[in-house]
Amino acid sequence: PYTLYIALFCYGLILALVFVLLKLADKAFCTFCGGRFCLLAFFAQALVWCSYEYLKTQGFVGFSYGVLGYTQWKNLPLLQNAAWGGVWPLSLACAMVSALAASVLFSAHAIKKEETKKRSPSLSNGKCLKKSLLANRLPLAFTLAGLLLMFAYGAIVLALGKGANPSSLKSVKIICIQNNTDSEKYGVDVYRRDIKNLTELTKEALSQNPDAQIVVWPETAVVPPVEYHYQKRVDFDRVEIINRLLEFVAGKDCAFVIGNQRTVESSPSSSDDYNAALVFDSSLGNVIPPTPLVYEKIHLVPFAEWFPYKNFAPSLYKKLLMDNDRLWTPGSQYVVFNVRSVKFSVPICFEDTFGSLCRRFVLGGAEVFVNISNDSWSLSVPCQKQHLAMSVFRCAENRVPCARSTASGVTAFVDSFGRVVAETPSFQQNFLCCKLKIPQEGSQKKTLYTAFGDWFAILIALTGILLESIALLHALFARKG
């Protein structure tokens, strides 16, 4: 919990700096323009804010929550612009509208003060606002034109999507299980209960959907490492749990994607733990003995799952180990599974909040995202919805649908345009089944975002840094003058 306070303190300092930079840009470019109503000043502020948003998603402590563009996840026409620029064009649009609204209101207030000094009685608030809108007509026209273009593009994309040739598409039927477990509880009895709930939900789902090709269980749905305990057989209770699980999976004519802690011996005296997705398929003969296809989570949650500065801050590392029981080892391979005639990748939990990571799966050939998550720790429906809101952008960015299996919510299916086509309520035991449409082999087209990633965000950041440098130089020379 103390890491939360460290993060809040750091974000407070960073936002204070961002505020200073915003004010500096506004003042400098308004001076260049010779007045209050400056398109460049308004645009510079939006760029500076979006530069901050992009930079805060980078590196070890990168965090995508709080990016403005994600507020538009239900705005389907606007959402389609993610296919060429990711979430960043939408963030810039939101920042520009916000900066413009603030400029209009502050300008109206300034006009009111000036007019009060000149005349009595002063102008009404409505007339002051009208004068402010006229004064800001260039930024207004610029912003409105940009928004209209974005909406028009989105509307065209959606219209073309409706007219797609059905013969160019194939379908995959997936079941997603939501077992509503408590991730804060551990022990053999808890693991037995979880496996029992998962298998019973799966039986019910398969009885209603016997033609399902893939069944998905959430992140760390099975806590005891499957391969390790099957091979080592050092803990009778855990071995029994694993054997029952494998017998169940082996008896089903479908593939299983199962979230699991994976333990791999790196030496006779040490091992590495991974947050992994295991793929079993009885038709591949990889269930008993367990030789699953494996993806190991690459982008781990800072502090909670991973801390790479063990030698630099050993005391903090020890404290994190005490609080978290274990820290994971990051994976390195962007795995694309090819099972049951479907190519899919499994971004684990908050990996689907990073567009730059998910596009790598699509470049490798993924036709579907199968996200497994566990947000039960949040005890919050809004928090889980916020995660879903970011997930839909990955679909719109790459024109790839997604199946989400979560421990407690939001379990959902999202189509390739970012529409949530089915979801189940949070904090309930349930399952969802859906047929997702995907392009036939070889007919999938790369989007601009898939091909070039965060090019638009990098352009924003470079332009923002350039404009802020000009503002800083102006401030320095102004002081000397």
Residues annotated as catalytic are 219, 297, 349
CB 103 within 8 A of CB 110: no
Amino acid found at 373:
S
Strands 270-281 and 293-296: antiparallel
Edge-to-edge strand ranges of the sheet holding 402-406:
337-339, 342-345, 368-373, 402-406, 412-414, 420-423
Q: Report the distance separating Cα 376 and Cα 183, nearest Å.
A: 6
Pick the closest to residue 358 from 469, 239, 453, 471 (CA basis): 453
CB 318 within 8 A of CB 303: no
DSSP string, 370-403: EEEE--GGG--HHHHHHHHHHHHHHHHHHT--EE
Q: Report the distance separating Cα 481 and Cα 470, nearest Å.
A: 16
Q: Report the distance separating Cα 278 and Cα 285, nearest Å.
A: 14
Q: Report the distance separating Cα 178 and Cα 430, nearest Å.
A: 5
CB 123 within 8 A of CB 115: yes
Hey, CA dihedral for 53, 55, 57, 60, is it positive or negative?
Answer: negative
Distances from the Cα of 41 to the Cα of 21, 25, 66, 129, angstroms:
12, 6, 24, 20
| Cβ partners under 8 Å of residue 394, min gap 6 | 347, 352, 355, 358, 369, 400, 402
DSSP string, 23-85: HHHHHHHHHHHTSS--HHHHHHHHHHHHHHHHHTTSSTT---TT-GGGGGTT-HHHHTTHHHH
Task: Copy the structure tokens of residue 247.
Answer: 């017998």
Within the chain, what is the greatest distance between any pair of CA atoms? 90
Look at phi and psi of residue 418 and say left if phi exceeds 0, alpha if psi is from -120 to 50, else beta: left
Strand locations in 252-341 (E): 255-267, 270-281, 293-296, 337-339
